[in-house]
Amino acid sequence: MATAPWWENAVVYQVYPRSFCDGNGDGTGDLAGLLARLPYLAGLGVDAIWICPWYPSPMADGGYDVADYLDIEPAYGTLHDADELSAAAHDCGLRVLIDIVPNHTSSRHNWFAAALRDEAGARDRYWFRAGRGPGGDAPPNDWASMFGGSAWTRVEDGLWYLHLFAPDQPDLNWQHPQVRSEFERILRFWFDRGVDGFRIDVAHGLEKDPELPDAGPRPAAGLLSITAHPAWDRDAVHEIYRAWRRVADEYTPGRVFVAECWVADNRRLARYLRPDELHTAFQFDLLKAPWRAAELRAVIDDAVAQAQAVGAPPTWVLSNHDTTRVVTRYARSQPDHPVEPHWERARWAAERADLDLGRRRARAAALLQLALPGTAYVYQGDELGLEEIENLPDNARQDPTWRQSGHADVGRDGCRIPLPWSAEHASFGFSPRGATAPPWLPQPAHWAALSVAAQTEDPHSVLALYRAALALRRIYWAGASGAIEWLETPSDTLAFRRGAAQCLVNFAPDSIDIPRGFRVVAASQPDVDRTLPTDAAVWLTPR
């Protein structure tokens, strides 16, 4: 019998390299730090790591502004370090996915430098246009940047170029044959070095309507509010991924893609997952859903049905480097206040977060997520129950959103704070002793108690829960059917069976009985026995 490919029920740990672990003491995470912590990740029990962009970058957008796709950011290490890291990860049984950023380059990429110099043909690889109105002083159309303001910036000789994100991230023109062939070369370069696959950044954005028509009145910018727009989710984009799939299939075993597509719904998403296109794509509905049984059940049913229809595994994301940390989202989720993990975090600032509540719900959500069929993504620090840091000093903020939104949106720095590894040093072990610089974003003092070392000592910590759940997932869920069998339960609770095991989640204010004849194999709260308290989850097997 053919075994399922590894990624069909993997747990993938997302590494944001700048904030994971600093090996050389300059205050920025790096590959030496990640290499040193591979045993931690292997011991945690995940199957793969996805490393956010590690390429040379001016860091205008945390590395999503790539200056050279065939090298490593010097602050992170060297190509040799990357090779060593991949080999060591494989030795630990971890697959390695890396990020590819095809929608735009950095403005420091040599293609864009040539375009600024107006070298023959160089501007054709991007979107340069004349402006509108007298003197061409107005942008060519009304498109907004995802980070705020216009999506157009004017260059010295008067033309404008398109950037759907920061001005330092000019959008590539994917109708240009050199853009297509260059990215296929980039894929092969890294596949040849042994990476197991790619996460594709803004995969839905590569093809624009070549007429560049106005988008018309639209809701505020933000990844989570994408609706029909001449820059997003256009049919022509699929041809690119068919070509990429052919490249991945040249390798044995085949390499894998996971797409970041912010599209209208799972039906649109399924189009990226046709058999000759991408293997998987993030489904973000779990991340967007409020902490309520009915909504979560609908999200799960839709994701599973769509995945089955197209023959790809469902994927489950609770948070990532762009969205408010799950603890803080659930800390604010009241029954009549749906969670909106929007980039416009300012709207939330007035509302006090009950982090104990958020952490309790995040623990239950972890058991729910890890019981579901398909691929689960765990964002670094979620296994420690870290919360969003919302009160960073303004002068520490680095996310371009902060500046581009005219300081209306604090941006995403709060979910990118360097990880706390121990209680000992100034940086909680993020940097080694004797580091020459503080962490690139400041860590809150109370994170000593949330450090890996502190949580390793505590059998009831969030980390202990993740370690146990990841080990038990292999036993109870990994081989179980991909179908969800819902069980009858009281209102505002969820229970489903897959194989012999069951998952039960209580969203209601009162405790509920755990059915007789079952043994609790994992619980999101300590001391759960005959009843399941509010905002808690258990995994059960028949006695």
Q: Catalytic positions, please?
A: 201, 250
- Least separation, in Å, of the C-beta of 299 and ligand GLC? 21
Q: What span, in angstroms and rounded, lies between the C-alpha atoms of 91 and 89?
A: 5
Looking at beta carbons only, is 47 or 260 nearer to ligand GLC? Answer: 260
- Least separation, in Å, of the C-beta of 399 and ligand GLC? 8
Binding site for ligand GLC (CB under 6 A): 61, 64, 101, 165, 201-202, 223, 260, 321-322
Ramachandran bin of 318, using left for φ above 0, alpha for ψ from -120 to 50, beta for the remaining angles: alpha
* Burial profile 147-158: b = 16 or more Cβ within 10 angstroms, e = fewer: bbbbbbbbeeee
In sequence order, which residues have a C-beta less than 8 Å from that of residue 202 and are 6 or more positions away? 101, 102, 103, 104, 164, 260
In sequence order, which residues have a C-beta less than 8 Å from that of residue 181 and are 6 or more positions away? none
- Least separation, in Å, of the C-beta of 386 and ligand GLC? 18
* Residue 403 phi, psi (nearest 5): -75, -45
Looking at beta carbons only, is 45 or 205 nearer to ligand GLC? Answer: 205
Looking at beta carbons only, is 61 or 285 nearer to ligand GLC? Answer: 61
User: Which residue is it, tokens 């994927």?
Assistant: 315
- Least separation, in Å, of the C-beta of 419 and ligand GLC? 18
- Least separation, in Å, of the C-beta of 242 and ligand GLC? 22
> Which of 316, 343, 340, 322 has its CA nearest to residue 415?
322
- Least separation, in Å, of the C-beta of 368 and ligand GLC? 24
> Which of 391, 386, 392, 393 has its CA nearest to residue 420?
386
* Residue whose Cβ sits closest to ligand GLC: 64
Looking at beta carbons only, is 103 or 443 nearer to ligand GLC? Answer: 103
> Which of 503, 500, 489 has its CA nearest to residue 367?
503
Q: Decide: 470 and 45 in contact? Cβ < 8 Å.
A: yes
* Residue 239 phi, psi (nearest 5): -65, -35
Looking at beta carbons only, is 201 or 207 nearer to ligand GLC? Answer: 201
Looking at beta carbons only, is 24 or 169 nearer to ligand GLC? Answer: 169
> Which of 369, 391, 392 has its CA nearest to residue 382?
369
